[in-house]
Amino acid sequence: MLKKKIEKKKFIKKPKVEKAKPRVDATPNASGKKAYTLLRGMHDILPKDEKYWKAFYHTAENLAEHFQFGRIETPLLEEASLFVRSIGKGTDVVDKEMYVFEDRDGTKVALRPEGTASAVRAYIMHGMWNMVQPVKLWYFGSMFRHEKPQAGRFREHTQMGFETIGDPDPVQDAELILLAFNFYKDMGLPVEVHINSLGMPEERQKYKVALVEYYRSKRSYLCDDCKFRLNKNPMRLLDCKQERCQPIKEEAPQIISWLEEESKNHFTKVLEYLDELGVPYILKPNLVRGLDYYTRTVFEVYPVVGENENVEPGSQSALGGGGRYDLLVEEMGGKPTAAAGFSAGIERAVSALKQYYDAKQIKFPSQPLDAFMAQLGDQARRRALKTINDLRASGLKIAYNFSKNSLKGQLETANSLQVPYALILGQKEVQDGTVIIRDMESGVQEIVDQKKVEHLLKKKLIRFDEDKKKM
């Protein structure tokens, strides 16, 4: 009886169970133990990609420092209603994609699908309206959306985001678009900004009536998704990617004609700032975004694809997006506070960057290593580890491979790592208190006192850098 009552109280609709497909590589090994693979839509980030991730993180950190955004970290898990109220019922993120479950204490919780709602929650909860406005926050972390996996679309992805809370001025929109543009430009990736204004809810409401009227007259030509959107979320009609709906979309009424003076002025000022800053943009009257909280400016960033570049399927999705959300803070229980923000998907940024470098046949720079330590024999290995640690403490980056015993093998590794110098320690050098410094390009070797190796190596590296600059 009690059990039945508890079950009745459950308010979470049972999600449609997706039948787990057998993982092709989950074959048992010789001992009959199955090897694990990833859940659908999840991915590992491997060491081979570390340089790209690090570079994007450093670019974000550098922009945050220059434009004075403070780092905020919010939990991965929040009350589910935080996202329902902010992102909105009727959006794909809330209706189809959120990872929602009941916590052990019965609270309905969700893995965060995005960062804006949490930033706003934190702004209100920590009384940040008492601080100098606007409050500028940035974050970098995982987001979860149960989407249909495809190229550039994962169920766990990483976002870098900037939020400016507490100022309605168009200069804030422009600053965020500039940041978004710089984020890719500083990495050498050409991008373009697509921009639109969605006006305020009253303007949008009037526009929606005209939009629905127009689409109703074309109903029989629409795809099934659009027929559904027509009743549920007409703004999303403009987001349809189905070929049959494109001609209808192109002829649809444009929101810009429904904007009143204030919204028009705001939009014009944002564009004037962008002109002044030299940020290239394309006006996109059909740009609506997939989250309900936006007011006025919305924008997305896309990679510029050269004529001869191959485009991977899915890579034409937005690298990042954002906009103004002047009503969200109040909607979430705070005082009326204007705000705007931008987020970039890092997996998509890394993939676009790789594609760009491949197309241009440029090598993405790795973190340079200063030298390789080769050792021969037990005693030498012991001394080598100590020397590597001493040199590390003095700021030098030394590569090594203790699993290789032959000098030839170790020097081959040094070559493949493109280090300018190898340090060689054998039995004799350990006894003599010396190290051999080998110039990897010329093969010239010099025997030096172990105590002087740090000083001499640094001197050689300075000369090496100067010679490289002259080339």
The contact set with ligand HAM (CB under 6 A) reads 114-116, 145, 147, 152-154, 157, 159, 161, 163, 290-291, 318-323, 341-343, 345, 347-348
CB of 277 to ligand HAM, least distance (A): 19
Residue 367 token pair: 């973190």
Which CB sits closer to ligand HAM, 273 or 325? 325
Provide CB contacts within 8 A for 452, sequence distance 6+. Answer: none
Give the integer Cα–Cα distance in Å for 434 and 330. 70
CB of 112 to ligand HAM, least distance (A): 10
435 neighbors 375 (Cβ within 8 angstroms): no
Which CB sits closer to ligand HAM, 152 or 199? 152
Torsion 393-398-399-405 (CA) sign: negative
DSSP 383-400: HHHHHHHHHHHTT--EEE
Q: How far is CA 139 from the centre of its chain?
A: 10
343 HSE (CA, 13 A, CB side) = 20
Which CB sits closer to ligand HAM, 295 or 387? 295
CB of 289 to ligand HAM, least distance (A): 6
Pairing, β 445-449 against β 434-439: antiparallel
Give the integer Cα–Cα distance in Å for 162 and 115. 9
Which CB sits closer to ligand HAM, 78 or 390? 78
Which CB sits closer to ligand HAM, 344 or 453? 344
CB of 154 to ligand HAM, least distance (A): 4
Peptide bond just before 134 cis, omega within 30 deg: yes
* Alpha helix stretches (DSSP H) within 234-298: 246-251, 261-277
Which CB sits closer to ligand HAM, 266 or 383? 266
CB of 151 to ligand HAM, least distance (A): 10
CB of 116 to ligand HAM, least distance (A): 4
Which CB sits closer to ligand HAM, 69 or 342? 342
Which CB sits closer to ligand HAM, 49 or 147? 147
Closest C-alpha among 386, 401, 412, 396 to residue 454:
396
Phi and psi, residue 225, nearest 5°: -60, -40
425 neighbors 374 (Cβ within 8 angstroms): yes
CB of 46 to ligand HAM, least distance (A): 17
Give the integer Cα–Cα distance in Å for 73 and 122. 10
CB of 121 to ligand HAM, least distance (A): 13
CB of 113 to ligand HAM, least distance (A): 7
Place of tokens 């008492």: 130
What SS3 state is found at 183? helix
Give the integer Cα–Cα distance in Å for 308 and 435. 51
Which CB sits closer to ligand HAM, 149 or 253? 149
Phi and psi, residue 111, nearest 5°: -75, 130
CB of 260 to ligand HAM, least distance (A): 23
157 HSE (CA, 13 A, CB side) = 29
Which CB sits closer to ligand HAM, 292 or 429? 292
